Amino acid sequence: MSNKTLAIIFGILLVIVGFIFLFQSGKDERTFREVLVDIDTSSVTEIFIQPKSKEHDPFRLFKENNNWKVTLPSGGTAEVTNGRMTNLFSQLIAIQPKRLAARDENKWGELQVDSTGTRVKVFEGSDLTLDLVIGRFSFQQPRTMNTFVRLYNDKDVYEVDGFLDMTFNQGANIFRDGTIINSDFNNWQQIQFVYPADSSYLIVNSGSGWVVNGVKADSAKTINYLNRLSNLNGNSFIDSPSSIVNKTPTYAINITTKDMSFIELNCYQDSTTSIIHSSENPEAWFDGASLTKTIFVGQSDFFLK
């Protein structure tokens, strides 16, 4: 062949290779998303979650009069703490693609981003601004947790930072206010333990230590108990408490603060049930099975044995 013919052939091949390169690059650029979550958290009015850990039973988080509430399996609703919502929005905004994990629907089942995944839908008014499927997590060294996610109407699966199951693959109760008591015990003046028969007693902050029925208590044991009592939370909610809550509490703790405010903690018991209720969170009732023995202690717990 002449040099002119070779040059023409080379030029044609160069054009073909360049076209293929540009076509494939453009295709990859269009396919790989740099942004998965684009929401205005201040405009979000409702979040719909179907957690895989709860057999995809759905619940809603919704905004009402600038406060967030969650729907419950019982059919009622409960208040959601600001901290829970702040954490949820932080988790959503932090979802950014690290890598494209799959482009094939055949991989959805393996990565649990098909119907087995947790689905999260975010609404801003009537507009659906995010529809996300959260799949399985992956663990990488050193101690890095990642999660596979897919936009519901997209085939592509992405790997993102974080263990999203901790926030989204939970039931409605995880968003509820689990506070039983949240108070600084250094501001407490006295605690009255009201028990059956003649087992009631009183502990008083004397200024130089705590005194139990006039006897100085062991400092370490008392502080340990007060730390536990003053930061008390529960996660086993009872939405339809039995009729025993209409009776006199079996056990009660009445806390008087130095500014003369009061905290009441009551425990209602029968042969099968233990229910705890606090004046600090009056809308909630808690299963007291695992809490009663650690809260309603006897006088001996404040002294060395």
User: What are the pLDDT digits (tens) for 31-59?
Assistant: 678 899 999 999 999 999 999 999 999 99
- pLDDT score at 190: 97
pLDDT mean over 178-202: 95
Whole-prediction pTM? 0.77
Percent of the chain with pLDDT over 70: 90
User: What are the pLDDT digits (tens) for 268-283?
Assistant: 998 889 999 999 999 8
What is the C-alpha separation between 83 and 168, in angstroms, rounded? 15
pLDDT mean over 257-263: 95
Residues 285, 187 contacting (CB under 8 angstroms) = no
- pLDDT score at 11: 66
What is the C-alpha separation between 44 and 241, in angstroms, rounded? 33
Residues 253, 194 contacting (CB under 8 angstroms) = yes
Least confident of 152-161, 197-206, 235-244: 235-244
Least confident of 13-17, 42-46, 86-90, 129-133: 13-17
pLDDT mean over 102-126: 95
pLDDT band at 30 (very low <50, low <70, confident <90, very high): very low
Q: Which amino acid is at 242?
A: S
More reliable by pLDDT, 185 or 34: 185
Nearest to 51 by CA among 103, 148, 118, 127: 118
